[in-house]
Chain A
Amino acid sequence: QSALTQPRSVSGSPGQSVTISCTGTSRDVGGYNYVSWYQQHPGKAPKLIILDVSKRPSGVPDRFSGSKSGNTASLIISGLQAEDEADYYCFSYEFGYNLMFGGGTKVTVL
């Protein structure tokens, strides 16, 4: 069982917005502004799409955004597109240098 809790799946139609939550504790998500998010297409390596809660690396579309409130971080995909169908993982540092991923969320574009 992952220490960071994500919904198993979310879905939306093209053009809609979807939100993926990532819930931890004050020792990880709530204690540091360093949550990152990774997108993984089937058979491919993960790709960094959000770092430091809300920063986008160069080349990542601005329809991907991140936020955090208390012990829960969120990834928002606005204007959902077919190529956004993938698995998404959140990640956080935990006090004492333990690094944790969430259980992953499958995004389906209807």
Chain B
Amino acid sequence: QITLKESGPTLVNPTQTPALTCTFSGFSLSTPNMGVAWIRQPPGKALEWLATIFWDGDRRYNPSLRRRLAITEDSSRDQVTLTLIDVNPLDTATYYCVHTPYSGYDVHFDAWGPGILVTVSS
């Protein structure tokens, strides 16, 4: 059974660079065709894909946020970290860590963490 859980700061000042960590179990990011993605949802709004990292180190980013995101992995600890650069109040959202099996264009998200609400405010 795959489980994921997000952790990190829940209140962040504007212009800071918070890091969110996803700790997962039930799979290894060293195994072929495994991937971990981050998806966010502002309060009352739709889901937005942010970034994905794959078992082979390949990284993919939302083109509109590419310059403000960094996704890294620590396979020895079964963790993936998303760093948001220079945050502003529009980055206030629930951030989800998600398992995504790799299969070319067949992208889907089959296991989700509970999410962490990150509020950007001074």
A residues at B contact (CB < 8 Å): 2, 32, 34, 36, 38, 45-48, 51-52, 57, 89, 91, 93, 96-104
Contacts and interface: CB of A to CB of B under 8 A. Distances in A.
B71 to A, nearest CB: 14
Contact of A99 (B49, B112, B115): B49
Given A38-B47, A38-B109, A93-B105, 16 more contacts: A2-B46, A45-B96, A45-B113, A47-B112, A51-B110, A52-B106, A89-B46, A91-B47, A91-B108, A98-B63, A99-B49, A99-B60, A99-B107, A100-B49, A101-B49, A102-B46
Given A38-B47, A45-B115, A46-B47, A99 B62 contact: yes
Q: Main SS of chain A's interface residues?
A: strand
27 contacts: A34-B106, A34-B107, A34-B108, A36-B107, A36-B109, A38-B109, A45-B96, A45-B112, A45-B113, A45-B115, A46-B112, A48-B109, A48-B110, A51-B108, A51-B110, A52-B106, A91-B47, A91-B107, A91-B108, A91-B109, A93-B107, A98-B62, A98-B63, A99-B49, A101-B47, A101-B48, A103-B46
B9 interface: no
Given A45-B96, A99-B62, A104 B46 contact: yes
Interface of B: 46-49, 52, 60, 62-63, 96, 105-110, 112-115
Contacts, number: 57
A110 to B, nearest CB: 23
B33 to A, nearest CB: 15
A32 B105 contact: yes
A89 B41 CA distance: 12
A101 B112 contact: no
Contacts of A57: 110
A102 B41 CA distance: 12
